[in-house]
Amino acid sequence: MIPKDYLARNIRALREAQGVTQEQLATALNISFQAVSKWENAVTVPDTMMLPALAQYFGTSIDDLFRQDMKAYANNAIRLLSVFEQSHNQDDFIRADAEFKKLFDGGSYTLDDVRAYGVLYEYHMYYCRDKALEQYDKVIAQKAGDNACYSARQQRILLLSRIGRSQESIEREQESLREDPADVNNHVALMVAYHFAGEYAKAIEVFEQAMLRFPEGHAALYTCAGDAFRALHRYDEAFDCWNKALSVNEDFVDPLFSTAFCCDELGRYDEEIAAWQRIIDWLMKKGMIHEQAMPQKMLKAARDKQLAGHR
């Protein structure tokens, strides 16, 4: 077959699959049914300007119309979903998403279209997960030991915990610690992995072992230990660790967040307010304007609770 014959066969197959007559297709495209008949018999081919409308009507692509092994789709949104499934390209996701929204806005959709829209976002979730892990691994592979590497390891562990892969993080960080126990960040990362897996006692064990190697202390070690103690409701030990973290490095803001959230949990609003205010001051000093929104909101909520308690 030549491409013209493929086109003729595909137009007929698509029309019959959707249960429309030559007259109905002709009316939709504002042409005569004789023109449709000539297309399907390979007497003539559609005008180039007609091809986009023809592809849109059948929910396929112009390229697919000329394919020998063309696949028919219920609509263009479903076709674009299929494209994204194969390409994993963000631009293809955006096009499919827009087409589904157009379909829903028009009101002419089926329950299977709604299901397929969910599938689109499921595929996109997997794409985003893999892309995030890829970027974190790029940073971690540099082994720079700076804040970016520290944050990337934490984010990677958190992401895996959210998708039920905490054990993978634990095993990875155990191996890192075995390879280089002299790197304090390896101890911290394993503590974080245990914490997000809900194994708080094991996180504290790692902390205690780390303190034997680093008796001078380390802000991240103290912070992670405080978080583990809090999870076990050992609040005095938690606050002690967070205070030590700040004494080791007053520019390390993480223990302030931990302190503020824990004080809110315990109803210690005076201390919570002080912690949120210190966080806001730190963010202002760093020029981090947008990041102040959440602390400002939490500060207001703490003040409201404090005021309500005094009534």
Q: pLDDT (tens digit, 9 = 90+) per residue, 36-49?
A: 999 999 999 999 99
Q: How many CB atoms lie within 10 A of CB 122?
A: 10
- Taking the alpha carbons of 254, 260, 261, 266 in that order, is the dihedral positive or negative? positive
Residue among 241, 193, 203 at smallest CA distance from 219: 241
Return mean pLDDT, the chain. Answer: 92
Q: Say whether pLDDT at 249 is over 70.
A: yes
Q: Say whether pLDDT at 17 is over 80.
A: no
The pLDDT tens digits of the residues spanning 156-198 come to 999 999 999 999 999 999 999 999 999 999 999 999 999 999 9
Contact 139, 150 (CB under 8 A): no
Contact 64, 51 (CB under 8 A): no
For residue 43, give every residue at least 6 positions away whose Cβ sits within 8 Å of its Cβ, in sequence order, or none: none
Residue among 280, 298, 300 at smallest CA distance from 288: 280
Q: Say whether pLDDT at 308 is over 90.
A: no
**Crossing angle, helix 90-106 and helix 76-87, to 10 degrees?**
160
For residue 107, give every residue at least 6 positions away whose Cβ sits within 8 Å of its Cβ, in sequence order, or none: none
Higher pLDDT, 74 or 106: 106
Q: Any idea how long the chain is?
A: 311
Helix spans in 107-145 (H): 111-141
Structure confidence at residue 66 (pLDDT): 87
For residue 205, give every residue at least 6 positions away whose Cβ sits within 8 Å of its Cβ, in sequence order, or none: none
Structure confidence at residue 89 (pLDDT): 87
| Percent above pLDDT 70 for the chain | 96
The pLDDT tens digits of the residues spanning 75-95 come to 878 888 988 888 888 988 998
Which of 109-113, 293-297, 305-309 shows the lowest mean pLDDT across its residues?
A: 305-309
Q: Say whether pLDDT at 34 is over 90.
A: yes
